[in-house]
Amino acid sequence: LSLKFGDIGNLKGLVIRLLLTTSYYQLSVQNWFSLHRLQLLYNHSVQATFNATGIHAPATYSFRCEHVSSLQRYDALLVPSSANDLSQLWEVTFIDFQIQGFNVQEGHFAHARDCASFFSPAILMGLVMSLVLLLVLAYALHMLIHLKSLDRHYECKASPAYFAQRKDSDMGDEKEPLRNSGNESYELRNQQFGKIYI
């Protein structure tokens, strides 16, 4: 694909040549096109050659990117093909770049595949924060499941108290006086006890 500037001043002899290929990938079961190389020609001589990286899309789609550039601040999708040629002297930047090499219908671009990576910094930060929140939630649920009732910690450990079961009519017959060091005491005869925990 060659872009010619026609009779525009100093750009009259400038041609931008985009070398595109198509390949069939069994994993996606469809053809994909790729931009492999970009060449700058001036007066029919090659001035610079850049290898393209990451510029590909299904053949029925177009490829769109906000910046396709040889500059590092724009992620440098265009890389000089050699350190010895004149490519190092050129800086190439396309703004609002969109390309479709094949299956163009009625002169309109097909649905675009965007160049934005799925793992952009914002998305990665969101995934990390989601993972941290998920770990906190799992720890909180773990603590709730293993939380013991407070009643168990405050159970009385004292010995049980025994109270005799009495009948009002037999109150006088159930006790027998005891003599012990001058104090008057009584022992219950009835051996039926009720056990009560306090």
Please write the tens of the pLDDT for every residue from 43-62. Answer: 878 888 888 888 888 888 88
User: Domain extents for the chain?
Assistant: 2-116, 117-154
C-alpha to C-alpha distance for 69 and 108, rounded to whole angstroms: 24
The reported pLDDT for the residue numbered 75 is 79
37-41 long-range contacts (CB < 8 A, ≥24 apart) are 37/81, 38/78, 38/92, 40/14, 40/15, 40/16, 40/90, 40/92, 41/14, 41/15, 41/16, 41/17
3-class SS letters over 122-138: HHHHHHHHHHHHHHHHH
> Which range, 35-49, 102-116, 150-164, has the best average confidence (pLDDT)?
35-49
Tens digits of per-residue pLDDT, 154-180? 555 555 555 566 555 555 555 555 455
Tens digits of per-residue pLDDT, 136-156? 999 999 888 887 765 555 555
- pTM for this one? 0.52
- Better-predicted residue by pLDDT, 130 or 85: 130
User: Is the model's pLDDT at 190 over the cut of 60?
Assistant: no
User: Is the model's pLDDT at 13 over the cut of 90?
Assistant: no
Count of positions (residues) in the chain: 198
The reported pLDDT for the residue numbered 87 is 77
- In sequence order, what are the residues at sequence separation of 6 or more whose Cβ sits closer than 8 angstroms to the Cβ of residue 129? none
User: Is the model's pLDDT at 20 over the cut of 60?
Assistant: yes
Mean predicted confidence (pLDDT) in 94-107: 84
